[in-house]
Amino acid sequence: MRRIPLVLLLLAALGVMPAAAQETTTDPDPTPTPAAAATADPGQTPPTAVPTSTPTSQPTSTPTSTPTPTATPTPTPRPAATATPSPRPHQEPFEVAYYYRIRWGFQAEFERLYYKNHFPILMAQKKAGRIRDVRVYRPVFHGDGRADWTFLVVIRWAGWNELGLPSQEEATARELFRDFETWRREEQRRFELVEAHWDVGLKPVDPPQ
């Protein structure tokens, strides 16, 4: 290795360096000398270059957008169909005679209450198809005192089975009469005017062949 004169070192410390000295301090040949190469440790293994692993780019996962649930339209309820009377099975009409014997002196009051409160219910049943016809009678003559009835109603039913069905008289009265309590009270009065009452089923008799 080349020595640098002490003077040049002092000048370099003071910041003054001749141009020729600057050129001499620079080693034009950076190649190491054989002596320098010989000073290296012969047993030291030169470092092996570790291959740098090129990082592989991981595929970027694209976030999947969750579909927004579509609201199911609520079906519009259909209007309820108007209830119509169910067709009744075909039967032969059947007549019943309803006899009343009214207390003496109250015949007019009984007939007025009958047509006011009970006859409209019979007409409603006729409209529903349960009854075919209603006829009302009163005897023309008083007779000789042996008359058993003073008021007669003959109802022609649509069939024998109609007699066994509930009459639903009160339910019909609530629809027909605004003042239901008055209807109930006057019907009670009408029954109080009856001395006797009975029903007779009628069967037509055809002439012999």
Q: Is 202 helix (H, G, I), strand (E, B) or coil?
A: strand
Q: Is the pLDDT of residue 23 over 50?
A: no
Average pLDDT rounded to a whole number, residues 124-152: 87
pLDDT-based confidence at 8, cuts 50/70/90? low
> At 6, is the secondary structure helix, strand, or coil?
helix
Bigger pLDDT: 32 vs 168? 168
For the entire predicted model, the pTM comes to 0.56
Q: Mind spelling out the 3-state secondary structure of 130-198? A: CEEEEEEECCCCCCCCCCCCCEEEEEEECCHHHHHCCCCHHHHHHHHCCCHHHHHHHHHHHHHCEEEEE
**Among candidates 112, 154, 113, 149, which has minimal Cα distance to 131?**
154
Q: Domain spans of the chain?
A: 94-202
Residue with tokens 């109930």: 184
Which of 80-89, 96-105, 139-148 has the highest average model confidence (pLDDT)? 96-105
- Over residues 140-191, the pLDDT tens digits come to 876 656 678 999 999 999 998 888 788 889 999 999 999 999 999 999 999 9
**Alpha carbons 41 and 70: distance in angstroms, whole number:** 79
Mean pLDDT of the chain: 74
Topology given in CATH for the domain delimited by 94-202: Alpha-Beta Plaits (3.30.70)
Average pLDDT over residues 126-131: 93
